[in-house]
Chains A and B, each alone.
Chain A
Amino acid sequence: MSIDTEVTETLDVKGLNCPMPVVQTKQAVDELGPGETLEVLATDSGSMSDIDGWASTTEGVELVDQVAADGGSETVYKHYVQVE
């Protein structure tokens, strides 16, 4: 994640499965303005490819970074989506 990107909002979709992470990401991004960044926290491993696919097909958003972080008992997949 680039240093100049600050998280504006965090969306917690831990415990939710397909298609909820993508659908709720879209809903949360719609609430943000240009230049703002959404952090998405998910436990669904499919969210890595789902959010990547969604961001690359959707105009006006850029997937800045994706990180799989070991959160103790479960892996948390972090996605950073910036509104252009």
Chain B
Amino acid sequence: MSTDDTAAAESAADDPSEPDADDTAELDAEAADTVGTSADEVARLEARIDELESELSTVRNEVDGDPQKMVIIATKGTLDMAYPPLILASTAAAFGYDVTVFHTFWGLEILHEEHSKDLKLSSVGNPNMPMPNAVAALPGMDAVTTRLMGKRIADNDVASVAELIETSLDVGVDLQACQMTIDLLDYDEADFYDGVTTGVGAASAFQEMVDADIQLLV
């Protein structure tokens, strides 16, 4: 800042348009008069502040107290696609999340006690498989692919689908079977693992998704 600028600033501070002492006192009195119209008004505002602070603390408790939530919609029933929802679900539960997995269409196969132990892997339409589709489509090839994958799973100490289901239920994951597809595929509630929730539909799944922090379709 130059010397000239400093001088200009000082001169501005002495601005004659600044209200004089009398005016200021008058304004203060007026303000005091407005705010202090009545002691009732002050009391009312203080009560309102207390009320809002109490509401704020309730909201904070709700936010802090509720566990975070994840909902997965599991729609696939092949051996490879049974793993991602179950692994994520049990892991999220270990992180303290409230987890629901809603199984619909072929996703029901994962919860079907008998079928879950015999899930298949197809090499048709999977360009990662080391064989052309024309070969993969031959009769019996799905069984070969599934056996090879099953051996890899066992050799690599990866848990079985049944073990992951048991663990997920143990850590409090809510495994749900869509009632509409249970009826559609002609399954019975008794076909599913103990602890699986049945009698639920899209509306309850959607409601859970609305409240969730993470929603995934697998």
A44, CB-defined interface residue at 8 Å: yes
B153 to chain A, nearest CB (A): 9
Output the nearest chain A residue to B159 by Cβ-Cβ distance. A20
Contact residues in A for B91 (Cβ distance below 8 Å): 19, 22-23
Contact residues in A for B149 (Cβ distance below 8 Å): none
Residues A54 and B94 in contact in the complex (CB < 8 Å), given A16-B157, A16-B159, A17-B157: yes
Contact residues in A for B170 (Cβ distance below 8 Å): 27
Using a CB–CB cutoff of 8 Å, the interface residues on chain B facing chain A are: 87, 90-91, 93-96, 156-159, 167, 170-171
A7, CB-defined interface residue at 8 Å: no
A53 to chain B, nearest CB (A): 9
Q: Are the CB atoms of A23 and B157 closer together than 8 Å?
A: no
Which of A15, A19, A26, A57 counts the most B-chain CB atoms under 10 A from its CB? A19
Q: How far is the CA of A20 from the CA of B171 in the complex (A)?
A: 11
Q: Are the CB atoms of B90 and A15 closer together than 8 Å?
A: no
Instruction: Tally chain A residues at the interface, Cβ within 8 Å.
Output: 17
Q: Are the CB atoms of A17 and B158 closer together than 8 Å?
A: yes
A sample of 5 cross-chain residue pairs with beta-carbon separation below 8 angstroms, ordered by A number, consists of A19-B87, A19-B90, A22-B91, A58-B95, A58-B96
Contact residues in A for B95 (Cβ distance below 8 Å): 26, 54, 57-58
Q: Are the CB atoms of A23 and B158 closer together than 8 Å?
A: no
Contact residues in B for A17 (Cβ distance below 8 Å): 156-159
Q: Are the CB atoms of B94 and A23 closer together than 8 Å?
A: yes
Contact residues in A for B156 (Cβ distance below 8 Å): 17
B159 to chain A, nearest CB (A): 6
Output the nearest chain A residue to B86 by Cβ-Cβ distance. A19
- Other A-B contacts than A23-B93, A59-B96, 5 sampled, CB-CB below 8 A, are A19-B90, A20-B159, A22-B91, A26-B171, A27-B94
Task: Scan residues 8-33 of chain A and give those whose CB is less than 8 A from a CB of chain B.
Answer: 15-20, 22-23, 25-27
Residues A15 and B94 in contact in the complex (CB < 8 Å), given A26-B171, A27-B170: no
Contact residues in A for B94 (Cβ distance below 8 Å): 19, 22-23, 25-27, 54
